[in-house]
Structure 1
Amino acid sequence: MPVASNEYFVPVVPSDASVIIVEDNPDNLFVLEILLREDLRVKYYNGRASGRQFFKLLEANPRLYPDLVLLDIQLPYEDGFTVFKNMLNVPQLKNTQVIAVTANVMPQDVAKARELGFNGLIGKPINRNRFPAQITRILNGESVWEPY
């Protein structure tokens, strides 16, 4: 199951990190990819537009153990909350931190993400000045709950 606690967590420096973005909006995906590549210089990143595509990526790459998944909540076919629930059954993700990256920042949305076991939430629009530090803190095992 994704890392809801730090039971299996091992800190990762961004340059060694494997990050998967599940985001259906091409502009938001582009921004996240730029920040990961240029500001954080992550080792590997991959973007997918839906939960279905994300699970197909994992299925096609059984040796892919992402350190972090940045998961949009408003996705086609099924929302990010449903995708997260399905992630809990994937052994390949047991050491993966999952962060909701969303414009859904109402208190009930944040509470739902916490209740389900997300490792944090970052609100959209992404703040380019804060994002690298947020991701670095997450990769160090800190929960980041910053909807604004």
Structure 2
Amino acid sequence: MKHALVIDDNPQNLRVMVQLLAKQGVTSTEILDSRQLPGLLPTLTQIDVIFLDLEMPGLDGYKVKDLLKSRFSATPIIAYTVHVSEINAARKLGFDGFLGKPLDNVRFPDQLARIFNGEPVWERG
């Protein structure tokens, strides 16, 4: 079974992502406050994909990505944000993909399958 790490400071967005993942049979670990990540990092084991909001208080998505890459270098880290203008910055700064919010629940299963197949997914919504 695949397992995702979802980091988002918005409880509703976090819930939507977790529900979309669950519909595809993917379990998840959720982090609402990115500042908790350094303490939780050693406890995280099997992570197959990471969905990371970019705009968060404390540690923003770009700083969090660097922390995660040190522990999960082979795991795809997907930026997801309402700020679709961030797509180019996310690409330049080493993210493995991008999904604009709101997520499209019709397209999400295909997007997720492509991510798990190692295909690049860079979509604004």
What's the TM-score once normalised by structure 2's chain length? 0.92
Match of 2:43 among 51, 57, 60: 60
Alignment of 1:8-87 (within 5 A): 16-37=1-22, 39-42=23-26, 44-61=27-44, 64-87=45-68
C-alpha separation in 2, matches of 1:52 and 1:60: 15
SS in 1 for 2:35: helix
Q: Flag the structure with more relative contact order, 1 or 2, with Cα contacts below 8 A and sequence separation at least 6.
A: 1
User: Given the alignment of the two structures, is residue 130 of structure 1 paired with residue 115 of structure 2, yes or no?
Assistant: no
What's the TM-score once normalised by structure 1's chain length? 0.79
Deviation at 1:77, TM superposition (A): 0.3
**Which region of structure 1 is more displaced relative to structure 2, 51-60 or 123-132?**
51-60
- Which of structure 1's runs of 4+ aligned residues deviate more than 3 A? none
**What number of residue pairs does the alignment pair up?**
125
1:12 corresponds in structure 2 to: none
Q: What 5-or-longer segments of structure 2 have no aligned partner? A: none
Report if aligned partners of 1:24, 1:75 keep a CA contact under 8 Å in 2. yes
Q: Deviations over 1:75-133 (max 9, x none)?
A: 1202101111222322xx02211000111111xx1111111111100000111101111
Amino acid aligned to 1:118 = F
SS in 1 for 2:70: coil
SS in 2 for 1:45: strand
Deviation at 1:144, TM superposition (A): 0.2
Deviation at 1:54, TM superposition (A): 2.9
C-alpha separation in 2, matches of 1:36 and 1:130: 12
Indicate the percent of aligned positions where both proteins have the same amino acid.
Answer: 37
Q: What 5-or-longer segments of structure 1 have no aligned partner? A: 1-15
